[in-house]
Structure 1
């Protein structure tokens, strides 16, 4: 380490620390650097960083896997320049917009319609090459079937075949120019440092406006997939004509020469009776009732702007205005995205075909899809609430949190298994020193906490993160109270909060230099 001031700081820290291992010293000296294995470094390459004037710190005593990059600002500049260059190229190719970032937050695609392109066709030469590679791979597998150990050169050849087939078959889809003109792409960096491009997202403001003679209900317009949108008048499905004025028309004028459309008022009355009878009939068919609720939920979850359902049930998808660092790449986020993509591939392309597809599913598949859609509406977030602002009260938030505990117990929620660990960025660096010491004392004992009580806030947070690494310790907002800790929801009052969890009350110690306002307490919810 060429920073002598930092060397002295670490030396002084070691004088009061029970941990003097090489790994600990190395972690302290490199905490403001970026590892060469970081995906940002792989993206721009270490060679490009060094060529641009960046310096690399190396370990003199053991393998450091490429070392640590010391000029983080330079690295971020190179990353931003390449991402913007890729974005400019995609816009030049015809896309309306291109958003670029190292990582995007969770839910960044919500509210956008997805356009699916068509698979790129292979040339005759490419198709012949694919068939030859597949035949070669099949021959190798047949030759070594039942063999316990395959030679290294054969294993390498199979890997090379898989990689070449992937390049030939896993191509980006082809989009029509008119679709590209109203849609955009998201550009980010994958975990291996490669460029990750997601194409075909239409923002609500970029949706094409309907023709003046077509109903503007945001629903299915038909036409392109073979369904005749003009066969049924969306405003007058029973062949009638709209009445003049805002009130339904009266009795029809007598005219025996032709059959007049039914009056509006009569159609309203007849369909009201049919609605009542349909409600009663569905109430006696739980299987159909489940299917119609599932249908409405799938429409909202997978089909942007669809209005095919007659059921007034909605899943209000939960947003995340406050997100912890790395939330979009968490174990839970990756699982949700993978499951969503799997269901999307199974569902029909057009919402008008969804009902038949759902009825053809097994009961187990219907239940699994129902659970996936319903989960998007769950909201266990704390939020600041004035009991007089008319939007949401502290009483409402408290009841929401308590019901979230009930649900968490029902599914055996385990935040440790979900991948959460106390770190500097997501907790320890954002609370007071007493909070840090209390966490270490609870997880490791008072004697261990006493070993770090002399440190400055930053060093204390980093050392506490190391001590809590494998402790399974959780802050109170992430814990699920046991049965004995249940709060009677009917007894929760907006006038008293003494019995609520500590992170829901206004009592506590603010950060140094802070006034105890909401921003200090929002830490707990985040």
Structure 2
């Protein structure tokens, strides 16, 4: 029998019996409950006097679940929210060996939550017990489990396709119950995600083509440089219908009302944050509705539409964006003859590049100081990502060392590099270029890592080499190399032009929206009022930006910060990923070069659409656009409908080593990368 509660009452009865106030057959009411309920009742009663032991709470939840109690029953018993019950049941399902550590305070609930992402106890134990002490932070544990999967909360394709559609198609999602993000989880079947995105884009493109456009193409991201190669057929703006005008008036009044309420909120009142977020969401919805009405007022001439086309694009926010009225160079003459209004010059970028003397000199959008400020943030973001992806850091440092070791193969380069080998840390230079960098997300990651390494490394320089030799080269040394490589990054630039650091940014699939947001202090105070209006117009709509020109510069900057709060807009200097052409001298001739140039000529010949993939090879692109964020055939699994299996064993039945990037894995990745580079060079 288990006594759940009432020990004091039992003692009182014993006292009464000893004093002969009651007899041995005195009836005492007793309620029979299960062992799980007994533990729960005891915990709830004791919680009035002392805090609950997390281990006992999880054990109680597990016992109740094993007895067949529903989540709603457990929630009612503990007066807990249903999501709390689901999370605690997930924690209770972690390996018993790890739960035992919780009772000893040798593991935290956050660490257990990270390990709960693994679906089997063996993998959970393997990851925990094989890790070094400093690798047991929740973010490292989570990375070890999901290293080959796509983070759904960060992927624009996941937002575009939707997790429900992905799961309906048979895809498996490793859910993260401990995140408040609706898209929290990890996707293993990148090929399925890509296929669903392509199908959704193609369906949207077909609907746009039926409007009467001569052609449509799909893109998974908006490439400003590509769009600038097209002219723009201008629509005619008709007057709004009476219904549209009434709706527009109501929306404009609502917009003014919400903005006034938002501006009236006290800036230093923490209790106002929730209300501010609610108002921001409402303002965003109103702005979208205004933009939709404005779009309905645009009309196009049908014969002119047949000479132009449209791009169907996935935006940074994972939303569908349509760029209508694009004019190719071969169609511009026909439109001119028809009297159409076409702005911009098709292939204007190409003309400027080949005829630089025809390019008028203009004042740059961003000053040298602002460029340095923004690129300091970019450099810090790359450093933060290198910490999370140490194998890329290894490749980056070797990319600098290999040409120095093999000058007979690579010659002597004289271009700027993004990784400097002079041993000077970029710490002070970055802080000097951007006075707001110290408060940024990237800098927080960097400084946290710096402190951890400071606490881990030996105090004396003489002890450093012996300590390094004693470490695991595939984990500790690789992660230390990643941090040190980040301190050698030289990514600060005083002008907008291709930069070598973009090569590393591309390898990391860097998403700057995670590390930088447009605010008054970070951007709008440093540009002209005309630029502020231009940014808001491009990011939202001309209607939203209409009143900025009437404001004072400071008020316009503050208003722009508010209106772009949810936009994930980035200035061009942070979105441009172009890498400068590498130049070198003294390079040995390639013995495989074709002596007569025929093969080269054949390679340089233009291909028809689709030629690149006629052999059935999948290159991870949709309609010629490269997929971001790890989406591609290399991340696929054999069975998209099945949950990921336990960690595979080798031929001897042993589990593999700690699943962070290892020296061997990095070497394999580098050799594969070298093979790809050789293929690209040959092409």
Question: TM class by shorter-chain length?
Answer: 0.3 to 0.5
Higher RCO, 1 vs 2 (CA within 8 Å, ≥6 residues apart): 2
Normalization by structure 1: what TM-score? Answer: 0.47
Higher helix proportion: 2
Normalization by structure 2: what TM-score? Answer: 0.38
